[in-house]
Amino acid sequence: MSMFQLSSLFGSFFKKETSVLGIDIGSSTIKIVQIKKKRGRAVLETYGELALGPYASIEVGRAISLQSDKMIEAVKDILREAKTTTLACGTALPLSSSLITFVTVPPVPDKQLGEVVAIEARKYIPVPLNEVLLDWSIIPKEDVYVTDDDSSKTEKMGNDVLVVAIHNEYLNNYQTIMSGCSLNPSFYEIEIFSAIRAVMDQGLATNMIIDFGARSTKLYIVERGILRTAHIINKGSQDITLALSKALSVSVSEAESMKRLYGLKGGPEYKELTEIITVNLDYIFYEANATLLNYQKKHSKNISKVVLTGGGVLLKGFTDIAKISFQTDVVYADPFSKLETPAFLAEEFAQAGPEFAVAIGAALRRLGEIQ
């Protein structure tokens, strides 16, 4: 069973539809996109974003865990506002709802692989296995040029396997929200896999994806399109806002506005603002660099590009210091480039790209299910 078949457990009950939705419920905003297939291409139909704060009477930009009835209300609102016309969808789950590990399993016949993976995974999963949904996929061997002798040697070494466990509680909660909105997800997948699909080009390169969200920052290292490392830092863009509010004695909404308006480009009049933002970002860059350097050292691989996703990277001046921090190429994710979009809105899509990576990735997978 491959990573992208998490859906097989839920099944696809729906008849042929041409339009599909990708849904990303973040800690501070919901993002949705609707796409359809036309002449073999994925065409953008509509998209939208909605801040969740107001549903719990807190500021826009802050992370919040809403009760399911409030979440249902919010999802219904964004569907209405974006004028979506389908209920067929794929839904991303937050990385924080899952546990991702890499295990090495001894060489066994294919039939026994599932059993052996479960035994290995049990060592890393701190809850009983009957409380989680377990999925896994074998990481393909890198060296395809081995001779027969060598390949038998690799066989003996066993397989590296990526294991994903999602707690049933999270899934039940998402199912409640989806069915409360009459939405029909044919799959749930961890946001990482949606993001990878939406932002990676095909190729052999090793890249790092940073998702700078409101509550947390996610770091993924992807090699040949396959996830090799996932790391979560419990600090996000809302922490900049909260630090600004405190240090400058302004309300959280004011701090949020200043963060978005000036970012790191406020100039000399906003020296303190710049400093506070910088201190908060330093922590994240430090962690991200450690992850990157560790990986490079351990695997003797060069990470040739860092791809920026998540609303937090829209901060003015973010790429400048990212480029200084990472001694490698740094680019904004451009997931809209995987879709056919109206040319006159190109700038808007370039700007919104980092935020919509997860939603677009989920929609692309759902679209792929249509024959």
Check residue 213 for interaction with ligand ATP (CB under 6 A).
yes
The answer to whether residues 367 and 35 touch, using CB atoms and an 8 Å cutoff, is yes
Check residue 315 for interaction with ligand ATP (CB under 6 A).
yes
When binding is defined by CB under 5 A, the residue of 7, 21, 23, 26 that contacts Mg ion is: 26
When binding is defined by CB under 5 A, the residue of 213, 263, 266, 335 that contacts Mg ion is: 213
Task: Give the pairing type, strands 88-93 and 184-190.
Answer: parallel
Query: Among 22-30, 180-188, 197-205, 264-272, which window interacts with Mg ion (CB under 5 A)?
Result: 22-30
Residue 348 CB neighbour total at 10 angstroms: 12
- Between residue 249 and residue 308, which ones bind Mg ion under the rule CB under 5 A? none
Nearest approach, Cβ of 170 to ligand ATP (angstroms)?
Answer: 13
Check residue 238 for interaction with ligand ATP (CB under 6 A).
yes
Nearest approach, Cβ of 263 to ligand ATP (angstroms)?
Answer: 6
Check residue 189 for interaction with ligand ATP (CB under 6 A).
no
Nearest approach, Cβ of 166 to ligand ATP (angstroms)?
Answer: 16
Number of residues that bind ligand ATP (CB under 6 A): 24
When binding is defined by CB under 6 A, the residue of 34, 237, 245, 274 that contacts ligand ATP is: 237
Q: Tell me whether residue 213 or residue 354 sits nearer to Mg ion (CB atom).
A: 213
Tokens 């200084």 — which residue?
324
Distance separating alpha carbons of residues 258 and 351, to the nearest angstrom: 19
Distance separating alpha carbons of residues 322 and 223, to the nearest angstrom: 21
Check residue 214 for interaction with ligand ATP (CB under 6 A).
yes
CA–CA distances in Å: residue 34 to residues 20, 82, 121, 340, 349: 6, 9, 36, 12, 14
Q: Transcribe 192-212 into DSSP letters.
A: HHHHHHHHPPSSS-EEEEEEE
Judging by beta carbons within 10 Å of its beta carbon (0-12, 13-18, 19+), is residue 225 exposed, middle or buried? middle
Distance separating alpha carbons of residues 127 and 108, to the nearest angstrom: 26
Q: Transcribe 316-332 into DSSP letters.
A: TTHHHHHHHHSSSEEEE
Local structure of 86: helix, strand or coil: coil
Query: Among 13-21, 65-73, 76-84, 309-317, which window interacts with ligand ATP (CB under 6 A)?
Result: 309-317
Site pattern 17..46 for ligand ATP (x: CB under 6 A): ---------xxxx-----------------
Nearest approach, Cβ of 128 to ligand ATP (angstroms)?
Answer: 27
The answer to whether residues 223 and 206 touch, using CB atoms and an 8 Å cutoff, is yes
Residues that bind ligand ATP (CB under 6 A): 26-29, 61, 94, 213-216, 236-238, 241, 256, 259-260, 263, 310-312, 314-315, 355
Per CB under 5 A, residues contacting Mg ion are: 26, 213
